[in-house]
Amino acid sequence: MPETVAAPQPDAGGSSAAPGRRPAGAAAREPGAATVLETLRQLDSGPRGLTEEQAETRQARSGANVLPAYREASWPRVFLRSLRDPFTGVLLCLGLVSAAVASWGTAGVILLLVVVSCALRASGEHRADRSTAALRGLVAGTATVLRRRKEDDAPRARELPVDELVPGDVIRLGPGDLVPADVRLLRSHGLTVHQAVLTGESAPVPKDATGAMVGGGFDSRELCFQGSAVASGSASAVVVATAGRTRLAATHGGRGPAVSRREPSAFDRSVQGISWILIRFMLLTPPLVLMANAALRDRGLETLPFAVAVAVGMTPEMLPVVVTACLARGAALLARGHRVIVKRLPALHDLGAMDVLCLDKTGTLTQDRPVYDRAVDPEGRDDPEVLRWAAINAWWTLQLAELPAPDALDEALLDAADEDDCTACDGVTAVPFDPVRRLATAVVRTPGRLGVHTLVVKGAPETVLERCDLTDEERARLLARAAGYADEGLRVLAIATADIPHARIRPGRGPHLSLPHDRTRTEERGLTCRGFVTLRDALAPTAGDALKVLTDRGVAVRILTGDHPGNAVRACRDLGVPVGPDAVLTADRIDALSDAELTEAASRVAVFARCAPEHKARVVAALRAGGHTVGYLGDGVNDLPALRTADVGIAPRDAVAVARGTADVVLAEKDLTAVGHAITAGRHAGGNITAYLHVTLSSNLGNVIAMLAAGLLLPFLPMLPAQVLAQNLCFDAAQLAFARDRPHPAVLRRPTVLRPRALLRFIVGFGALNAVADLATFGVLALALHGPDALDDEAVFHSGWFTENLVTQALVMLLLRTGRLRAEGGASGPVGWAAGALTAAGLLLPLSPLGSPLGLTPLPALYYVLLASVLALYAAGLMAVRARQRSR
């Protein structure tokens, strides 16, 4: 097969410096816009490569050919960054206020909680950074480079570390090589390149050295880019850009939308909303307490410590600790059990809240390799003879053309065919597939047919049919049939044969007979069309089950691919994903839609095809604008904008380094099953966080309402600041159990989103019910202590209310932790044990030696009997209100 050679080339001494030339390494910004001669002149190089001295000088100036390194933040820096969390900010404000009013115990406890929370978060994120550091390394370790010791020496091919490459180096590329830098081809021979990590295209892209092209985009045939891989053929090329100046590093380095400031994720938005709710309550509570006591009880600033204690009681001090503990435990279990690394702890919540997952087709739904579908004759009828001839062509092309490995399409044909059919013929000569001719040719000898050989041609339908003996009408009909197969998402190969006399085949160079290249087109005429072979993308073995799991859990899947829409639709249908006629959108139609129109379309469209990176990011942004929590699974440079735009970015371990660095979650394999496990862990964590917020905020609000009412009715403070602090410490310690709780299975069936408005409605409703139970305790104390005057006993009132508060909070922990009391197991599990311990503390603390320092005293037996009645009514009310809320 002829090789393509870029022309004109400079003379052999073109690597020497010349007056007026651009400095070495200062290549044009768009190398594809220059001819080879112009490119070499700009690089001050030539086809013989650089001398050792020139290379050393250039490396000293341009640096090592390594991608910009990701620098993990140190543990202290991550710790300080955790202080910016809104929840932590609320606690710090409370701590400062407590210190201002000399409430040192409260201030110390709050400070301890802040330190514990930040330490947990910093440790988890720092551990994730260390885990992902071992996953880096995209480019090849060595490259074949032409170097000379001196100016007049002949160039020698040497294997050099990739980081020693400099602009102007001439390298050689072969099958399986990773392109180590951005290069301009000088010579090429049947070169095709995989650049899915850059563009998302699953099929190899043809490249050749001929001509000049304006622009230097990924579709330039003369340029190969760092991170791509050679699929077939060979080439020599000159390095035009290294390190941070390559296309692969351009997005990494901070240019373009892929690295713009990231929008707040679902977790960030929820945290901000809940924090503002807490801040409003915190700011509102102390003035209300002060004004009420001043107006009705003629108390002044002596109630300020109590007002601060009430504000502290309203605020869930353990919120940062519980949230971080839930997320850190879920992340640790994912890493150990499923090798999924959560780099940013809040991303685990976003996984649980995710209701749309966007992903590419290649590598997730399919295996990035074709498999045989069917073989048909020209009339569309199944014909195994067509497959036999296709396999014969593939087999003898591989054997006689000395290819290092079969093409992916040929491999699929050989897997489907009987090996005995392939070897029944004797191979004579072969010309392998190349992207210019778009076909492969083999000549075989069939035993028993003396003097006659069979020419077998396989390739693109339009190319093969052009060489067949057909009328224009017949050719048009067959092309339409092939186009129909392609529209169904199938890859189509046309197969044709012809008998040629033995005398027309002459010996060629090498150990085999060969069909001379200059006679190839002459012999490949007047062929008989045998039919078509269709192939489809091999489905990922776990994709079908994983998609069903995602659907059952309320996660819709959107396919964002650079591939043909038919291929994506075919993969979806083969996996049982329904795709309607209006559920496919191509890039040109996306460009024609406004943001509002795309937001509406994204809610119903399942497949977005022919997408460039900016299209993927725009679709993800449209889904988020529609109120969805969006995850994006990608592994290439072309996925970077979408990874950053999504609420949670997911990348596999073998993704390009910059994609792994951008992602929030790193998978051991590009497998949807692992995503399902991550969603499960996220919903476990999110369910526990939601249950904690429901329990603690509703209880705290009820206590605050009751305290305000008691402050107006009683001649003394309803609870001493020390008692408020002790009560909070007991409750806070019990709430740590939420980090280890296992939510009800119903939690896994829907996204767990922290919605501030829904949370506010919940805590107001259940807080009011809790306040009613607290106020009912006043009546219980009056009856148990024989008359309303008994309420004047300060210690008795404090003890009764202290006990009731802790017991009711334990009851709320059991009833509201998953939205309903578990039928199976009742109060079992960490939360059940914690609730039991909290109840014991409420009942025993007034009786213990610790009760007296806190101002608590033992209570009469009648109080406990009446309290049990109040709690039974309270539990019934909780269940009734919760059942009504769930029925809406």
Supply 247's token pair: 């296309």
For residue 302, the Cα-to-chain-centroid distance in whole angstroms is 55
The pLDDT value given to residue 221: 85
The position carrying tokens 């526990």 is: 688
- For residues 774 and 718, is the Cβ–Cβ distance under 8 A? no
DSSP 22: P
- For residues 347 and 686, is the Cβ–Cβ distance under 8 A? no
* Top-confidence range, 189-193, 516-520, 645-649: 645-649
DSSP 728: H
Residue 149, classed as helix, strand or coil, is: coil
Which residues lie below 8 Å from residue 64, measured CB to CB, with a gap of 6+?
163, 164, 243
Over residues 213-237, the pLDDT tens digits come to 545 577 788 899 887 888 777 899 9
CA diameter of the chain: 125
Categorize the per-residue pLDDT at 376 as very low, low, confident or very high, splitting at 50, 70 and 90: very high
* More confident of the two residues 829 and 235: 235
The pLDDT value given to residue 784: 62
Question: 182-194 and 4-5 as β-strands: parallel, antiparallel, unpaired?
Answer: antiparallel
Angle in degrees, CA 345, 346, 352, rounded to 5: 110
Burial track 36-48 (b if 16+ CB lie within 10 A, e otherwise) = bbebbbbbbbbbb
- Interval 624-643 mean pLDDT: 87
Over residues 505-541, the pLDDT tens digits come to 554 433 333 444 444 445 678 899 999 999 988 888 8
The position carrying tokens 């409003």 is: 280
d(CA 834, CA 730): 10
Supply 23's token pair: 């400095």
Report the DSSP beta bridge partners of residue 500: 453
DSSP assignment of 529-581 equals: EEEEEEEEEEEPTTHHHHHHHHHHTT-EEEEE-SS-HHHHHHHHHHTT----T
The position carrying tokens 């019910």 is: 769
- Interval 135-154 mean pLDDT: 72
Q: Count CA atoms within 13 Å of residue 57 on its CB side.
A: 10
- For residues 455 and 498, is the Cβ–Cβ distance under 8 A? yes
Categorize the per-residue pLDDT at 381 as very low, low, confident or very high, splitting at 50, 70 and 90: very high
The pLDDT value given to residue 33: 54
Side chain identity at 865, as an amino acid letter?
V
The pLDDT value given to residue 17: 36
Question: 630-633 and 648-652 as β-strands: parallel, antiparallel, unpaired?
Answer: parallel
CA nearest to 656, candidates 67, 16, 193, 90: 67
d(CA 406, CA 100): 77
Over residues 234-251, the pLDDT tens digits come to 899 999 999 888 887 775
CA nearest to 717, candidates 833, 646, 797, 638: 797
- Interval 171-200 mean pLDDT: 83
Supply 828's token pair: 């079992």
The pLDDT value given to residue 530: 95
d(CA 157, CA 419): 39
* Top-confidence range, 247-261, 291-305, 387-401: 387-401
Looking at the predicted structure, is the pLDDT value of residue 790 above 60? no
* Top-confidence range, 132-146, 335-349, 761-775: 335-349
Categorize the per-residue pLDDT at 299 as very low, low, confident or very high, splitting at 50, 70 and 90: low
Categorize the per-residue pLDDT at 118 as very low, low, confident or very high, splitting at 50, 70 and 90: confident
d(CA 320, CA 346): 12
* More confident of the two residues 803 and 289: 803
Report the DSSP beta bridge partners of residue 608: 560, 585
Over residues 575-598, the pLDDT tens digits come to 887 787 678 899 999 999 999 999
The pLDDT value given to residue 802: 87
Supply 122's token pair: 């910093």
pLDDT-wise least confident of 222-231, 548-557, 578-587, 813-822 = 813-822
Q: Count CA atoms within 13 Å of residue 515 on its CB side.
A: 29
Supply 551's token pair: 């659907």
Looking at the predicted structure, is the pLDDT value of residue 260 above 50? no
The pLDDT value given to residue 120: 64
The pLDDT value given to residue 309: 65
The position carrying tokens 């001669």 is: 37
Over residues 401-456, the pLDDT tens digits come to 766 666 788 889 999 998 888 888 888 888 888 777 788 999 998 877 777 889 99
Residue 89, phi-psi category: left (phi > 0), alpha (psi -120 to 50), beta (remainder):
alpha
- For residues 188 and 208, is the Cβ–Cβ distance under 8 A? yes
Categorize the per-residue pLDDT at 1 as very low, low, confident or very high, splitting at 50, 70 and 90: very low
Which residues lie below 8 Å from residue 722, measured CB to CB, with a gap of 6+?
105, 854, 855
Supply 77's token pair: 């820096």
Side chain identity at 498, as an amino acid letter?
A
Side chain identity at 642, as an amino acid letter?
A
Which residues lie below 8 Å from residue 311, measured CB to CB, with a gap of 6+?
94, 97, 281, 282, 285, 286
The pLDDT value given to residue 823: 37
d(CA 643, CA 662): 7
Categorize the per-residue pLDDT at 504 as very low, low, confident or very high, splitting at 50, 70 and 90: low
d(CA 840, CA 837): 5
* More confident of the two residues 348 and 656: 348
DSSP assignment of 153-205 equals: SPPEEEEEEGGG--TT-EEEE-TTPBP-SEEEEEEEEEEEEE-HHHH---S-E
DSSP assignment of 266-317 equals: HHHHHHHHHHHHHHHHHHHHHHHHHHHHHHHS---GGGHHHHHHHHHHHS-T
Over residues 450-461, the pLDDT tens digits come to 778 899 999 999
DSSP 653: T
The pLDDT value given to residue 403: 65
> What percent of the chain stands above pLDDT 90?
22
Looking at the predicted structure, is the pLDDT value of residue 373 above 90? yes
The position carrying tokens 């994709």 is: 543
- For residues 806 and 836, is the Cβ–Cβ distance under 8 A? no
Residue 123, phi-psi category: left (phi > 0), alpha (psi -120 to 50), beta (remainder):
alpha
Q: Residue 854: phi, psi to the nearest 5?
A: -85, 0
Looking at the predicted structure, is the pLDDT value of residue 24 above 60? no
Angle in degrees, CA 317, 322, 325, rounded to 5: 145
Mean pLDDT of the chain: 78
CA nearest to 691, candidates 569, 586, 595, 834: 834
Is there a catalytic annotation at residue 360? yes
The position carrying tokens 């069939």 is: 446
| From 360, 373, 410, 671, the catalytic residue | 360
CA nearest to 647, candidates 360, 365, 355: 355
* Top-confidence range, 67-76, 318-327, 716-725: 318-327
* More confident of the two residues 250 and 166: 166
Angle in degrees, CA 26, 29, 30, rounded to 5: 130
* More confident of the two residues 537 and 363: 537
Report the DSSP beta bridge partners of residue 494: 459, 532
* More confident of the two residues 643 and 716: 643
Residue 229, classed as helix, strand or coil, is: strand
Question: 205-206 and 182-194 as β-strands: parallel, antiparallel, unpaired?
Answer: antiparallel
d(CA 800, CA 490): 76
- For residues 321 and 684, is the Cβ–Cβ distance under 8 A? no
Looking at the predicted structure, is the pLDDT value of residue 139 above 60? no
d(CA 152, CA 148): 8
For residue 477, the Cα-to-chain-centroid distance in whole angstroms is 45
| Cis upstream peptide for 578 (omega within 30°) | no
Q: What pTM does this model have? A: 0.68
The pLDDT value given to residue 301: 62
The pLDDT value given to residue 575: 85
d(CA 746, CA 165): 57
Looking at the predicted structure, is the pLDDT value of residue 464 above 60? yes
